[in-house]
């Protein structure tokens, strides 16, 4: 029979991917909706459609990649019940940071599309820098998750599990 701690470890794998995926989807939605509106306006005005918008729409996807990296690093630990609570904490803490980071990126990207459409394409670099600031939250969360996985907390849990294993 699975213990609650063991179940938490397994659930954590789904949670980390779920948070990253939902965040990226929300971010792409926010930026993509604005990009579609920007392209419609450019087309109506007879202007060529800006390819810069595609980059702004795609940037929030990186948080799903960060969560996939953590998923792959967490998976070997998920088989040890004692690791469950720590993995759950990583999934919730890092996952929420990734979700909001991707969403914030998408909102900035959407506002950036509107900025580019309304001012003749000026300011792209500033928009990318602003999106990079939101990206840094996701990177810091990824690094924190990796540090926890490589910390004494996980080593002690693994040692405890090994010591009590039959």
Residue ranges of domains in the chain, CATH in brackets? 4-159 (1.20.120.610)
Q: Rounded to an integer, what distance in angstroms lies between the CA atom of residue 82 and that of residue 57?
A: 40
Q: How does residue 13 score in pLDDT terms, banded at 50, 70 and 90?
A: very high
Q: What is the reported pLDDT for 143?
A: 98
Is residue 157 scored above 80 in pLDDT? Answer: no
Is residue 161 scored above 70 in pLDDT? Answer: no
Mean pLDDT score of the chain, rounded to an integer? 92
Average pLDDT, integer, range 116-134: 94
Residues 6+ apart with CB under 8 A from 142: 66, 69, 70, 94, 98
Is residue 81 scored above 90 in pLDDT? Answer: no
Average pLDDT, integer, range 136-145: 97
CA atoms within 13 A on the CB side of 23: 31
Is residue 87 scored above 60 in pLDDT? Answer: yes
| Dihedral angle, C-alpha 40, 124, 94, 13, nearest 10 ° | 50
Is residue 160 scored above 80 in pLDDT? Answer: no
Q: Tokens 């509107």 belong to which residue? A: 114
Q: What is the reported pLDDT for 8?
A: 92
Residues 6+ apart with CB under 8 A from 54: 35
Which range of 80-84, 107-111, 156-160 scores highest in mean pLDDT? It is 107-111
């Amino acid at each position: 029979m699975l213990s609650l701690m063991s179940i938490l470890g397994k659930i954590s794998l789904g949670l980390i991917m779920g948070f990253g995926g939902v965040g990226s989807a929300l971010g792409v939605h926010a930026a993509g909706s604005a990009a579609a509106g920007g392209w419609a306006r450019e087309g109506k005005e007879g202007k060529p459609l800006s390819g810069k918008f595609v980059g702004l729409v795609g940037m929030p996807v990186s948080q799903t990649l960060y969560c996939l990296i953590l998923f792959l690093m967490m998976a070997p630990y998920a088989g040890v019940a004692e690791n469950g609570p720590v993995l759950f904490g990583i999934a919730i803490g890092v996952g929420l940071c990734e979700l909001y980071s991707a969403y914030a990126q998408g909102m900035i990207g959407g506002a950036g599309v509107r900025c580019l459409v309304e001012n003749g394409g000026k300011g792209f670099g500033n928009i990318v820098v602003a999106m990079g600031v939101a990206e840094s939250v996701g990177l810091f969360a990824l690094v924190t998750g990796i540090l926890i996985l490589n910390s004494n907390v996980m080593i002690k849990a693994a040692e405890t599990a090994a010591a009590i294993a039959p």
